Every structure is written in C-alpha cells, then in structure tokens.
Amino acid sequence: MIYDFMNAVKGANSRLFYSIFCWKNGNVSIRPSVKKSIMPFQRPSVLLFFRKVMELVNGNSFVFAVFTLVYLGMIFGRFPRLALDRTGIVLLGAIALLASGHARLEDGASGIDVPTILLLFGFMIISAQFRLGGFYSEISRRISSLPVSPGVLLGVVILAAGGLSALLTNDVVCLAMTPVIGQGCIRRKLNPLPFFLALACAANIGSGLTLIGNPQNMLIGESLRLSFRGYLWWALPPVLVSLLAEWGIIAVLFRGKMHLEIFREQEPERAFNRWQTLKGAVVLASVVGLFLFSALPRDLVALGAAGILLLSRTMASRRTLETVDWQLLALFLGLFVINGAFEAAGGLDAVKSALDRLGISLSSPLWLYGAAAGLSNLVSNVPAVMLLLPLVRDIPGAGNILALSSTFAGNLLIVGSIANIIVAGEAERMGIPFGWKEHAAAGIPVTIASLAAGLLCVYFL
C-alpha cells in the first residue's frame, strides 16, 4: 500500500497537491502539502542513485564485491569497528548473496558439497569419542612420563602428534594434548616451548598423510574422488621426511635450552575411560579399513560410525555434540555458497583469463604448489583450497599437490593453521610465551623443509 502511494506521488504532476504521512497520537494520517517536489525520492539525483544501487545489486558486480570483501576479511581476520571473526564475515557474505538472489539453496544451486560436510561432521564425532574418553590425555601422560632424554622425548611427541593427526582431526589432537604435555614438562623441569612447537608442527604435517587428517584434505578427497589408499602411499615419504626434519630443526634450535624450572599448580586432567576409548578405536579401525579396502562412500561410512558412537548408555549425546566444531561447519557452508555464486557469475573464468595473461598455468605442478602454499598463508588453507579447487578439477594429480602443499604451508605463520592458534592459546594460558616470533623461529625452517620434501615427491613420485 505504501509502495503504491509512493509511486503515485512520484508520478503525479508537481503542480498538484501532494499528501505525506504524519504520525499523531499513535495513528497514521495524511495531510495535504503545497510544496513542490517535497518527497526526497522525486529528486533526479536520488532516483539515479537508487537506480544505480539496484543495478549493482542485480548484476554480477555485486557478487564480485561480496567475494572480494569476504576474502579480504579472511586475510585480515576482521573488519574495522566490527566484532566479526572470519566465520562471521563468511556467513555475512553468504547471507547477502542469498538475500539478493545471487545464491539459492534449492535444486542443488547452493554450491554446498554435502558429502564433505557429512564426512567432516562424522570425524568430529569420532574425535569427540576419544577426547571425552580421555584417550588424548592418557597418551600425553604416558609420553611425558617416559624415562628418556629430552631429545628422544621430543621425537616421541612429534611421532605421536603426527600419527594421531593423520587419522583424527589435528585441531582436536592439539586441543587435548597441549595442556597435558605442558604439565608433564613442568613436572620434569623441562622447557615446554619446544614440545609445544613440536606438537603444533607435527599435527599439521601428520594431517597431510591421509584424506581425513584435516578439513581441506577431506574437501579435496571428496570433490575429486581421490583414492584413499593411493593418496596415503603417495604422501607417506614427504610426511615422514618432514617429521624427521622437524625433529632435527627444533632439537638444534633448543640445544642447551631444554631444561627450565617453572612453578605452577598442576591442573586436574580428564580421567581415562578404557571402554569408551576401546569403542572409539574399534569404530575408527573399521572406518579406515572400509576406506582402504572398499568402494563405499566415505561420507556415509563416517556418518554411520558417528551414529554408532552416539548410541551409548553412559556418554550423553549432548556432551558429544557440544565438542563438535560448529564454527568450522558454518565456515564451510558459507564458503560453499560464496564460491558457488562466484563461479556461477563467471568469476572463475575471469580468474583463469587473468592467470593466462600473467603467464601462470596451474597445470604446472610448480605453479600450483606455490599458489596453494602462498594463498594458504593469506586466507588460511580451507578458503585457499575452496578457491583453487574449481580451477584444477580437470588437471591430473592436482588434488595430491593441493592437499600436500596447503597442509605443509600451515606451519609458516602462527595464523596459517587453527592447530597453531590452539597450541599458542593453551601455552599462553599456562604462562608459556608462545607468540608469532617464537613460532616463526621453528615454523619457517620447518615449512621450507617440508615444502621442499613435498616438491621432490611431486616431481619424482
């Protein structure tokens, strides 16, 4: 009704009497006015402005603007004067595209890769089973109490963190192991910092061993239908070499600095539940076996495993679901919508044309390796993979390169991986300095060594 009234006023002769709304005593009334062109939307400049705005919103320029703003937000982590983190920025961008009609949720037009979401959710439940059962804490306690030298203990931490992260989510491994490893070091009067660095870097490197070790590998494996067993054997040599190089680098950096006496009250640790851990281990072994030796869809296998673990007489499903990283799932959903709209608007074609003009070919293993590593440190590995994946769908071997390089690049900067941030936060909470300088001292040489090992694998395997 108001819209019809406004149109009538806009189209009326300016010499006629106009009516405007008035608010009086809680009632809307209309009173006459003799002023010419009183309504602001009658002014040509205002009408032209609104016309331009609507043309922008209805055109592909709006999609490109939202896409650019979202990825700038991913680079800087926030927008000035707004309390938005990366997930909030992505969700806001997705909402803008859905509200403007540039993205749709029906008929598969959203761009959301449902199998990837299901696989990620399933492994979050599996990881939660081990965490709530006290498995990570028990492993960390046993490692920290081993009667070995600090150098050997450092190697054991690297091997355990890398191995667990290959099968379980590396973020959860770091979250559960960091405080227990830290308390074990304090009891033994060891400097916790090298062990924290070893844990973070090994969790990132080890997660690159399989297609279930981290979220971006799950996405690549599901999108490109990579062989679980084939990728495992291909990635094994560079991962082992990288873990060995990490051990040597950190051992050299902290030679003569392994011992440090810190006075701190010991915190209570999660109790170990043997039955819940055994249940989780049987389910995980069955899942990995099916991945290796069957052609069943990985997302449905993981979802079925999650359903089995939720069936419990003692562990409430509410507790399990509380440990699910809903923020990460929301980030995935939002990025799927944004990148899907960007591709539908012709953004990928524009990117390909720009790369061709610059002489950059992602079909070249070296260019793809470098692009994935560089972009992962600009916008984080998950958004980087989502951006590059549609550009390399038809390139043989690109999935393996993308998975390995985006994972290894996460150790370069402290913000390059969620695992780094988790370990840094836990260390700071325990009073152990763990800033970007401390991380960079080990992270940069470890990243260079691991990327070099991965590059050799790309060219010779």
**For the chain, what are the domain ranges?**
1-42, 115-460
Most confident of 81-85, 93-97, 327-331, 358-362: 93-97
Check pLDDT > 50 for residue 431. Answer: yes
pLDDT at res. 100: 87
pLDDT at res. 245: 96
pLDDT digits (tens, 9 = 90+) for 283-327: 999 999 999 999 899 999 999 999 999 998 888 899 999 988 888
| Span of 47-56, 233-242, 282-291 with lowest mean pLDDT | 47-56
pLDDT digits (tens, 9 = 90+) for 200-225: 999 999 999 999 999 899 999 999 99
Burial class (CB in 10 A: 0-12, 13-18, 19+), 302: buried
> How many Cα neighbours within 13 Å face the side chain of 334?
24
pLDDT at res. 60: 80
Most confident of 144-148, 227-231, 259-263: 227-231
Band (pLDDT 50/70/90 cuts) for residue 453 is very high
Band (pLDDT 50/70/90 cuts) for residue 243 is very high
Contact 170, 419 (CB under 8 A): yes
pLDDT digits (tens, 9 = 90+) for 156-209: 999 999 999 999 888 888 888 888 898 888 888 899 999 999 999 999 999 999
| Span of 22-26, 194-198, 371-375 with lowest mean pLDDT | 22-26
Residues belonging to the chain: 461
Closest CA relative to residue 238, chosen from 201, 213, 206, 215: 206
Mean of pLDDT values over 370-374: 89
Torsion sign, CA atoms 179, 181, 184, 190: negative
pLDDT digits (tens, 9 = 90+) for 54-65: 455 556 888 899
Write out the two tokens for 205: 């490197």
Q: Which residue has the higher pLDDT, 212 or 433?
A: 212
pLDDT digits (tens, 9 = 90+) for 401-424: 999 999 999 898 887 787 888 888
Place of tokens 């028990």: 138
Segment (H or E) for 51:
helix 44-58
Contact 150, 247 (CB under 8 A): no
Mean of pLDDT values over 355-363: 86
CB atoms within 10 A of CB 427: 25
Write out the two tokens for 319: 């507790």
Contact 181, 192 (CB under 8 A): yes
Mean of pLDDT values over 116-130: 92
| Span of 2-16, 151-165, 309-323, 431-445 with lowest mean pLDDT | 2-16
User: What average pLDDT is seen over the chain?
Assistant: 83
Bridge partners of residue 259, in order along the sequence: 190
Band (pLDDT 50/70/90 cuts) for residue 154 is very high
Gyration radius of the chain's alpha carbons: 27
Contact 246, 446 (CB under 8 A): yes
